[in-house]
Structure 1
Amino acid sequence: MSGYSSNMFYRTFFWGLVYVTLMLFDTFRAQECEKMIDLDLKNSFAGTSLDVRLLLYTRANIFCGQLLSHQEPFSNPHFNLSSPTTFLIHGYRPTGSPPVWLYQFVEFLLNRHDMNAIVVDWNQGATNFNYWKVVKNTRKVAENLTDLIGKMENNGANLSSIHMIGVSLGAHISGFTGAKFGGKIGRITALDPAGPEFNGRDPSDRLDPSDAQLVEALHTDMDALGYRDLLGHIDYYANGGADQPGCPRSIFSGSQYFKCDHQRSVFLYMSSVNGSCPITAYPCESYTDFLDGKCMDCGKFKPDGCPVFGYDVIHWREPLVRLGQTRTYFQTNEAPPFCKFGYKVEIVTWNQKLHWGYLTIKLHNGKEETQVELNHKSIMFEKYVETTLFAQFDRDIQPVKEITLKFCPAKGLRPRKKLRVLHIRLTPLQNNLRPLCRYDLLLEKNKDVTFRPIPCEDSNF
């Protein structure tokens, strides 16, 4: 190629690239990408008047929100009435900033399913240091959504295909909206529903199971900003429903002290949408019973077993609705992946006298290990009496090649220093893996005993 031709080629290529870039810029600008209103502390002090904005995201505009008209919502070419619709509704915003999780949440939803994802931006109305004025706005936001959903229904949308995900005050907004349609809306997900001004209220003044065909509520901060009692067909109490692992316990930690537990509900649910690490929710009357291993039998949910927390619990809708209100518990890690891996641990000892103490169990696969300390209370070991425990490990170590046990006697007048184990069995509660057994072990005080598990005998053990 001659020098002249080469220069012409690069010049043509350059201007072509400029043209394409300008065209893309014009297209992007024509789309008028919208985001949630960003306010600040001066708005919090002055207070804000309610203004509800609806931001539509679909797989065609997953990173570019489109403002949905309240008067003519169907004029937006991206809005498809035949597709399911999910509303994402934030809660109280004392400082006025948009939630840090908002856009990733939308992305996870659209990666999971083709839908209309509508962010309900009521930041103007949620930003105010006067919480009680914000609470009054929740009814007005619900009226706005009721009007939109009514138009959708009149134009052929199926109410059962609507999913409302409400965070904190957004949970009760979802409930008020669902009540207007007599519970025909498909699903409401309440993420740490707000407690202040709603605790103890009648069902008509808060979220309740009659507001949708399936109502689920996740509790992560019930001793402060969240709601304590049951609100849905299934209520999840993560780590007991109050203090979350990894969240600061001191006020000197700054704003995270106030919002970490409350906000954890969103990240846990997002993880369930992402689907990378399922969490089993165990129906149980109390967190103590859950920790004591009394709630591992999910026979009433046959043939599917214990429900899975979060987005996929829809597969358990029929038994959940039939059972009324189900309280469930699970534990998590402090950061993603949040899921833990549970084992049913059954031990029979043959000491002549009662022994009390704690156990540490460690699993090895040859390259890595994981351990759990069963120390929430002292365990009683009685001769020839089976002791059942629930052990949750932070990782799934497979295949398990070695197990290490350590017995720590409980403090007392005459603590027993040796625990004679007739047999021990560890049964994985996920993945349908085979039980791990061992027979005839001697555990000395505070000493590790490592062994290779062997096949369990064909008996109850």
Structure 2
Amino acid sequence: MMKVIKGFLFFIFITITSSGNTLDPLDWGWKTSKYRLEYASLRATEADIKFYLFTQKDLFYGTHLNISDKGEITRSDFSKDKDTVFYIHGWLDNNSSETLISIKNAYLSKYDVNMLVVDWSTFADSVIYNVAYDNVEPIGNVLGHSIEHLVQNTGQDLSRMIIVGHSLGAHVAGVAGRILNGQLDHIMGLDPAGPLFTTENTRNRLMPGSAQFVHVIHTCGGLIGYLNSLGDADYYPNGGRNNQPGCETDLFGKCAHLLSIKFYIESILTGNFKARKCGSYDDFTKGKCNDSPISYMGQYKVDKGAQGSYFLQTNSKSPYAKN
């Protein structure tokens, strides 16, 4: 029943934003509408963000962890000698979602890392998108300072930490990364949210410089996702829009939006998403970039030599990689 309710809310949201926002053809980001919903503004504090630690020793249950508390960290399975991966969910999501569990399981089935799930569902699970949107920057600030405390309490270097964020979570990651002066190893943006985000406002979104390297996968650009480049390297499977193979009846983009997560999970496990640098998807499909540099989309160890826009095609179902 909850999935049905959330699906209905998702439909209402897309209907409102599609009629109340316009896409700038030069920007392909979302412009804020004068018809924006009015609501009582709520602002995030440290109490509104929770962390759950998963490791190969504790794969299924996890530990609710205050990463600012040195004693709690010491008593937990957290190890400064392992890489740390943060995962941030998006709108209408929480720490027990199927997508989150799938990413966590994929990582820990292959890599011995500290997996920290960031739960900001106090705002992200709000039925009003604007409440979640307006708290992206405050949540990102809280996350950034919490990670600073984790570094102080454990001695782990920021270069051993990465953040993976889906939808609004990708922008939360961007804000946190700037609090940390771009020292994180990398940020993985999975179809960063588009509605209400603009190129002009860089305070509340993902951008190059949010980490040592920013890798972005676009799968529903121009509808739910942000189509314009946001990273050092941006990957556009099947053109990056909502008409993804396997999502032909996906009128409102939910299927395509979630594909970014499915692609990323497969990339962690197999690493087979070969993409080519190109000026546009049209040029890519016409073979004009067949001699251009190759890069692999996603993966745990990202291709930090990649710069610019990369395109590829996928299958309509798993395995998605065509290579």
TM-score range, shorter chain: 0.7 to 0.9
Q: CA deviation at 1:226?
A: 0.3
Q: CA deviation at 1:82?
A: 2.2
| CA spacing shift, 1:40–1:70, aligned 2, 3 Å | farther
Match of 1:118 in 2: 116
| TM-score (norm. length: structure 2) | 0.81
Match of 1:65 in 2: 62
The letter for the 2-side match of 1:334 is: S
Distance 1:52 1:59 in 2: 23
Runs of 4+ more than 6 Å apart: 46-49
Distance 1:57 1:97 in 2: 12
Deviation per residue, 1:197-229 (Å, 9 max, x gap): 113333333211111011000000012000011
| CA spacing shift, 1:75–1:41, aligned 2, 3 Å | farther
Match of 1:249 in 2: 249
Distance 1:89 1:250 in 2: 24
Match of 1:232 in 2: 231
Q: Secondary structure at the match of 1:179?
A: helix
Distance 1:313 1:79 in 2: 21
Deviation per residue, 1:160-213 (Å, 9 max, x gap): 111100000000100000001111111100000011111333333321111101
Match of 1:109 in 2: 107
Match of 1:56 in 2: 53
Equivalent residues of 1:199, 1:228 under 8 A apart: no
Deviation per residue, 1:34-82 (Å, 9 max, x gap): xxxx99959x8x9998521111000110112110024414144211122
Distance 1:182 1:250 in 2: 39
Q: Secondary structure at the match of 2:103?
A: helix
Equivalent of 1:151, from 145, 149, 155? 149
Percent identity, aligned pairs only, is 33
The letter for the 2-side match of 1:266 is: I
Equivalent residues of 2:67, 2:73 under 8 A apart: no
RMSD: 2.6
Larger Rg: 1
| Relative contact order, higher structure (CA 8 A, sep 6+) | 2
Equivalent residues of 2:137, 2:204 under 8 A apart: no
Distance 1:63 1:339 in 2: 28
Is it true that 1:340 corresponds to 2:322 in the alignment?
yes
Match of 1:198 in 2: 197
Is it true that 1:278 corresponds to 2:272 in the alignment?
yes
Distance 2:151 2:188 in 1: 21
| CA spacing shift, 1:264–1:250, aligned 2, 3 Å | closer
Equivalent residues of 1:283, 1:326 under 8 A apart: yes
Q: CA deviation at 1:97?
A: 9.0
Moved more, 142-151 or 168-177: 142-151
Equivalent residues of 1:193, 1:226 under 8 A apart: yes
The letter for the 1-side match of 2:61 is: C
Correspondences of 1:357-436 after superposition (within 5 Å): none
Distance 2:95 2:5 in 1: 9
Moved more, 101-110 or 148-157: 148-157
Distance 2:116 2:164 in 1: 10
Deviation per residue, 1:430-452 (Å, 9 max, x gap): xxxxxxxxxxxxxxxxxxxxxxx
The letter for the 2-side match of 1:113 is: Y
| CA spacing shift, 1:104–1:250, aligned 2, 3 Å | closer
Equivalent residues of 2:89, 2:168 under 8 A apart: yes
Equivalent residues of 1:145, 1:177 under 8 A apart: yes
Match of 2:129 in 1: 131
Equivalent residues of 1:199, 1:227 under 8 A apart: no
Q: Secondary structure at the match of 1:288?
A: helix
Distance 1:183 1:39 in 2: 37
Equivalent of 1:293, from 287, 311, 317? 287
Equivalent residues of 2:89, 2:119 under 8 A apart: yes
Q: CA deviation at 1:288?
A: 0.8
Equivalent residues of 1:307, 1:313 under 8 A apart: no
The letter for the 1-side match of 2:193 is: A
Match of 1:453 in 2: none
Higher strand share: 1
Equivalent residues of 1:68, 1:76 under 8 A apart: no
Distance 1:99 1:171 in 2: 17
User: Which stretches in structure 1 are left out of the alignment for 5+ residues?
Assistant: 1-37, 252-256, 342-461
Q: Secondary structure at the match of 1:290?
A: helix
